[in-house]
Structures are given as structure tokens and as C-alpha cells.
């Protein structure tokens, strides 16, 4: 709900709202659709695994069948639907949201998605290193360097490093090598997963490490949050930041499954 919608709904009547945030949150909860099915499962038909709600195929917002080629992905989707309570809350369905975007959007724009992943490699987070303090420099070298080296070996090209925020132009040969491998990620589901892994980690290198099976999801997540964890070790972490990170981790896990099994 936008601010204007909120004011129109709650302010026009001239009623005083002692806690507008709570009122808005309550309104959003009430706006969630009621659960209209008893059970969510998976059915196989025409070479695809369909998410079935009481035996009928679920649909994306664009009315496409919620069906994928991977049984593990379909089962994860069905589990999200089955876990819903009296109302369906998309915020608690990261896998469904991502597959919906894949089927309704990425399917028609996969070349643009691939190009964006390659562009990300041109300013990859793993290529921008701290100059100080020495503890962080050593940590980045210990964790990031082996990953970078393994990905470089796999693609047959080198990434240039820089210190601080000074832009480092990556060699065209490297970007071409990245493009060749990104081009091998199947569309639309696995590609949507790849894009979200890249976005959530800030790194095409880390996405490729996961796609190649060079690192597992936990290692990739830890590498992506190395700087943040270093700061948490010094200053601690507040509750809201921890909640936001937990939400991002759920989204990352959904994307990682799509990348691996989509």
C-alpha cells in the first residue's frame, strides 16, 4: 500500500490513528487473500511438474501454469503453498515469487538478463579490496582469493583487482568468457536463480562459483557477507538488521536451488 492509498483509506474519514504504522500493517494483513485450497502437491504432466492446489494447477500472476521441469523445485514450491496459513502471504513465499518472475518475465527477456549478469562481472564485488585494516585485508585474501582463482581457472580468464572504490576495467576477454558460461545457464528458471544469487551477493564470480559447484550455498553466502560480518564482529548487529538478513537468506536459498536444479 502506498502512502496515498493509506491516507485515502484511513485519513479521509477524519479518524485519528494513534499508531499509523500498526494500522497500515493491519490493513496490509487484511488485504492478503484467503487460502482457498486444502492441500498443495505436485503432479507431472507433459514433461513438467505442476504445483497443484487441490489437484488443479496453480497459476502465476500472468496466468501461466506454475509448472517447472525440475521435480525438486516443484516440491519446494508446493511446500511454500502448503505452509501458508489462513491467508496467503507472498512475503513468506520467496521461491514462488522468483519462479513467477521467471515464467512471466525472464522467459521473454533472457538475453537481457544474461547481459546484465555479464555487466555485473565488470564491477564485481570480489574485485574491490580493502586497503585497511590489515585484519580485513587478510580475511578478504584468505576467503575471496581461492574463489576467484577457482572461477578464473574454470572460465580460462583473469579478473583485475583494485583497492577501494577506484574503478577497474575488466578485460574484454574476461567478460567474453563470463558471457559464454552465463549463456549455458538454462532459461528461464535457473537463469532467474542465477540473477538473484548475483544480486543478493553483489558478485557474478560468486554466482559462477555456485553454478559450477566450486562452492556450496553456505560458503557463497559467507563470502558475500565477509565485510558485513567483520563489522558485526566489531560493532555487533541490531535486531532489525538481523531480520533483514534472514529475509535475504531465505531469498538466496530459493535462488540457489533454482540455479542448481532449475
Q: Which domains does the chain have, with CATH numbers?
A: 1-31 (no CATH), 40-92 (3.30.2180.10), 99-261 (1.10.3580.10)
Percent of the chain with pLDDT over 90: 84
Distance separating alpha carbons of residues 207 and 220, to the nearest angstrom: 8
Query: Cell numbers of 104, please?
Result: 512471466
Cβ atoms of 177 and 155 closer than 8 Å: yes
HSE-up of residue 122 (Cα within 13 Å, Cβ side): 11
Cβ atoms of 65 and 50 closer than 8 Å: yes
Could you report the per-residue pLDDT of 194-244, keeping only the tens digit for each? 999 999 999 999 999 999 999 999 999 999 999 999 999 999 988 999 999
Q: Helix-strand-coil percent breakdown of the chain, rounded to 5?
A: 60, 10, 30
pTM for this model (two decimals): 0.86
3-state secondary structure of 43: strand
pLDDT, residue 12, reads 38
Q: Cβ atoms within 10 A of the Cβ of 171, count? A: 12
Distance separating alpha carbons of residues 53 and 40, to the nearest angstrom: 5
Cβ atoms of 155 and 209 closer than 8 Å: no
Could you report the per-residue pLDDT of 86-110, keeping only the tens digit for each? 999 999 999 999 999 999 998 889 9
Cβ atoms of 218 and 201 closer than 8 Å: no
Distance separating alpha carbons of residues 259 and 261, to the nearest angstrom: 6
Q: Which of 193, 82, 51, 179 is nearest to 122 (CA)?
A: 179
Q: Which helix (H) or strand (E) holds 213?
A: none
Distance separating alpha carbons of residues 181 and 3, to the nearest angstrom: 44
Could you report the per-residue pLDDT of 36-75, keeping only the tens digit for each? 999 999 999 999 999 999 999 999 999 999 999 999 999 9
Amino acid at each position: 500500500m502506498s502512502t496515498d492509498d493509506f491516507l485515502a483509506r484511513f485519513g479521509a474519514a477524519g479518524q485519528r490513528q494513534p499508531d499509523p504504522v500498526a494500522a497500515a500493517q493491519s490493513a496490509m494483513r487484511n488485504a492478503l487473500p484467503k487460502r482457498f485450497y486444502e492441500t498443495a502437491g505436485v503432479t507431472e504432466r507433459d514433461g513438467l511438474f505442476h504445483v497443484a492446489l487441490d489437484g488443479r494447477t496453480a497459476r502465476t500472476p500472468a496466468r501461466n501454469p506454475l509448472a517447472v521441469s525440475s521435480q525438486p523445485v516443484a516440491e519446494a514450491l508446493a511446500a511454500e503453498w502448503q505452509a501458508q496459513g489462513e491467508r496467503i502471504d507472498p512475503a513468506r513465499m520467496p521461491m514462488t515469487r522468483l519462479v513467477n518472475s521467471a515464467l512471466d518475465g525472464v522467459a521473454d527477456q533472457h538475453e537481457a538478463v544474461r547481459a546484465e549478469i555479464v555487466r555485473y562481472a565488470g564491477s564485481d564485488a570480489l574485485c574491490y579490496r580493502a586497503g585497511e585494516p590489515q585484519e580485513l585485508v587478510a580475511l578478504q585474501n584468505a576467503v575471496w582469493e581461492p574463489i576467484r582463482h577457482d572461477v578464473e581457472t574454470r572460465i580460462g580468464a583473469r579478473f583485475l583487482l583494485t583497492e577501494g572504490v577506484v574503478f577497474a576495467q575488466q578485460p574484454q576477454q574476461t567478460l567474453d568468457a563470463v558471457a559464454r558460461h552465463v549463456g549455458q545457464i538454462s532459461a528461464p528458471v535457473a537463469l532467474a536463480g542465477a540473477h538473484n544469487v548475483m544480486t543478493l551477493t553483489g558478485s557474478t564470480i560468486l554466482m559462477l562459483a555456485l553454478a559450477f559447484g566450486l562452492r556450496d550455498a553456505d560458503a557463497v553466502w559467507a563470502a558475500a557477507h565477509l565485510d558485513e560480518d567483520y563489522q558485526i564482529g566489531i560493532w555487533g548487529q541490531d535486531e532489525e538488521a538481523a531480520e533483514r538478513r534472514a529475509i535475504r537468506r531465505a531469498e538466496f536459498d530459493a535462488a540457489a536451488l533454482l540455479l542448481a536444479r532449475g
